[in-house]
Amino acid sequence: MELTIDQPFDLESTLESGQAHRWKKVDGWYSGVVRGEFIQIRQKGQVVEFCSGPSPEATAAVMLRDYFRLDDDIHAIYSDIGRDSRVAAMVSKYPGLRLLRTEPWECLVAFICSANNNIARIHQLMERMSDEFGNPILLNGQTRHTFPSPADLAEAGEAELRRLGLGFRAPYVDQAARAVLAGKLDLPALVRAPYPEAKAALMEIKGIGSKIADCIAVFSLDKLEAFPIDVWIRRALSEWYFPGQKTPPDRVLLEWAQEHFGRYGGYAQQYLFHGQRLQKKADR
DNA sequence: TTCTGCCCTTGGCA
DNA sequence: ATGCCAAGGGCAG
């Protein structure tokens, strides 16, 4: 089935920008599992072609439009974050890099796993947890697994998670799974909650600090104003906006970024992050 | 209260 | 080879 897209959209940079962790490139197609659907997808110009299962493709098409945030007014967003000239330059260099609307529980686990870790290994851990504790789905002769539910991972427990290689993050994921099961952490409710409230609730979980809470908020809870500050962004902000100064503490950087980048700060952050990484890749 | 330094699992990379 | 680093956070002092 095909999706016709009448706005800036770049499948490759969007799927490979560190927001989603279960996409593999297999002969020109991206293969992944989104919200329980096995998706194989590729882009040719403004046309996106995909196969899906187990649900019918018409159902998956609706789901994918939501996943890719095609409901965003991307021109208004680009215009807003483009008030910053560095972001504007990156938007014109990489048009179509989008935020995704990922599943909150899966996103939460992925970003707990991101602590002091690299993207390749986060992908590996997410895939191992799925293979071990998720349910199999078959499509075009290939098998993938759904991402395990909180109950699945709570049942697996800390020791099993360590065995998969989560290391010191294993107890954090275990505890988060139990909090969701016990109703102490209500992720669907946080989608509707205001950003500060959602962030505070996430930070009650051990292993979720300010940065990881902001990642979960922007990628899965519809908080487009959230602005995750990681090593790349800290470096970029320090070098570009506070040159010749000692790097301000994150609290100060965050306050400044909220004010400077505004209500679509999450989009601006994604461009800064992606631009920095591509630049480094190009330098080598 | 806020800041600093150290530790934590694992593995890819130079 | 072996030390560094990786979309950080917890904890002690």
Question: What are A205-229's pLDDT values in tens digits?
Answer: 999 999 999 999 999 999 999 999 9
Domain made up of A104-220: CATH architecture? Orthogonal Bundle (1.10)
Q: How far apart are the first and last CA of chain A?
A: 39
Q: Where in chain A is the domain with CATH 3.30.310.40?
A: 2-71
A32 pairs with which residues across the strands? A39
pLDDT of residue A280: 66
Catalytic residue, from A25, A44, A184, A211: name it: A211
pTM exceeds cut of 0.85: yes
- Nearest C-alpha neighbor of A237 from the set A225, A224, A226, A250: A250
Residues of chain A with confidence (pLDDT) below 50: none
What pLDDT, in 10s, does the model give residues A165-189?
999 999 999 999 999 999 999 999 9
In Å, what is the separation between the CA of A26 and the C1' of B6?
42
CA geometry: angle A102, A143, A56, nearest 5 deg: 60
How do A29-34 and A24-26 pair as beta strands?
antiparallel
pLDDT of residue A116: 96
Give me the residues near strand C, CB below 7 A. A 17-19, 114-119, 121, 168, 206-213, 215, 228, 230-233, 269-270, 273
Top-level class of domain A2-71: alpha beta
